[in-house]
Amino acid sequence: MTRLSLNQWTTRHWSVAEAVDGCARHGVPAIGLWREKVAEHGLAATAKLVRDAGLRVSSLCRGGFLTGDTWPRDNREAIDEAAELGAACLVMVVGGLPGVTPGGPPGPRASRDLAGARRRVAEALAALVPYAAERGVRLALEPLHPMYCADRAVLSTLKQALDLAEPYPAERVGVVVDTFHVWWDPEAPAQIARAGDRIASYQVCDQIHPLPADALLGRGIMGDGVIGFGPLTEAVRDAGYTGDVEVEIFNADVWAADPDEVLATVRARFDSLVRPALG
């Protein structure tokens, strides 16, 4: 049985219903849901749909953006949704420097206090963990590639994510290992080993080279970029991770293609480049 999970942003133009149907047709047993898509279909209806289809919800994307001002309500809602969906984890993209809009220019009040932003993340996490724990939701801290440090995540390495998670039980606060975000990191193998049962999600996609004009869209299907999947996947395996492996791709060409063809390619590349190293 494959451990492939479709993160639904890979087939961005599919609704929740279309993505669930696509997973069934392609033999994909798990799905990573996005809150916007879930809201369009309805929360209770989505929960029923994936349950009836026998799909695992490998993650809900996403909570976070803890460095701004609206995080308490946003994240409580996200946690409630993750609980109702039975998601294995809520992915947390922690947010960038206060006042720096994702993808946009820094506003006049943009902060350059990186250490301060990182402290805010730790404080917000401390406030959210009990709320998530009461609802049985596991928060999954996702370190993002350093090129997104200013606007999307001041959490930049797996080591930093593990340090942040350390005060909490592993079943309450885990980490996401995403090949795109960590492949360059000389410490990645050692930190994956350290993570052990903190690994809440393993996400695979490639890094396109050169990066496109919008660096956010530099993710590609495995084999289309510069990442070697063997060593990272073996490290995740050796750390004891037995969960689903999500493929999450932000890429204008992928989004413009027929989602069925995309999913077929994803499945084939997963089988040739990732699955052998999963053991």
Chain contacts with a copy of itself (rule: CB under 8 A) = 97, 100, 103-106, 110, 112-115, 118, 145-147, 149-151, 156-157, 159-160, 183-187, 207, 209-213, 215, 225-228, 231
Nearer CB in complex with a copy of itself: 86/111? 111
Nearer CB in complex with a copy of itself: 27/103? 103
Q: End-to-end distance of the chain based on CA atoms, in angstroms?
A: 12
Q: What is the SS3 assignment for 55?
A: coil
Residue 45 CB partners (closer than 8 Å, separation 6+) = none
* DSSP symbol at 50: H
Nearer CB in complex with a copy of itself: 124/154? 154
Supply the minimum distance, in Å, between the C-beta of residue 173 and a copy of itself.
Answer: 17
Nearer CB in complex with a copy of itself: 76/118? 118
Supply the minimum distance, in Å, between the C-beta of residue 55 and a copy of itself.
Answer: 32
CA–CA dist 194, 218 (Å, integer)? 28
Nearer CB in complex with a copy of itself: 59/157? 157
Query: CB burial class (10 A; 0-12, 13-18, 19+) of residue 135?
Result: middle
> Beta-strand (E) ranges in the chain?
4-7, 30-34, 56-64, 90-93, 139-141, 173-178, 199-204, 206-207, 219-220, 245-247
Nearer CB in complex with a copy of itself: 1/115? 115
Supply the minimum distance, in Å, between the C-beta of residue 211 and a copy of itself.
Answer: 5
Supply the minimum distance, in Å, between the C-beta of residue 29 and a copy of itself.
Answer: 28
- The most distant pair of C-alpha atoms in the chain lies apart, rounded to whole Å, by 52
Supply the minimum distance, in Å, between the C-beta of residue 139 and a copy of itself.
Answer: 19
Instruction: Please state, in angstroms and as integers, the Cα–Cα distance from residue 124 to each residue in 70, 92, 268, following that order.
Output: 11, 12, 40
Supply the minimum distance, in Å, between the C-beta of residue 156 and a copy of itself.
Answer: 5
CA–CA dist 161, 145 (Å, integer)? 12
Supply the minimum distance, in Å, between the C-beta of residue 125 and a copy of itself.
Answer: 15
Nearer CB in complex with a copy of itself: 79/121? 121
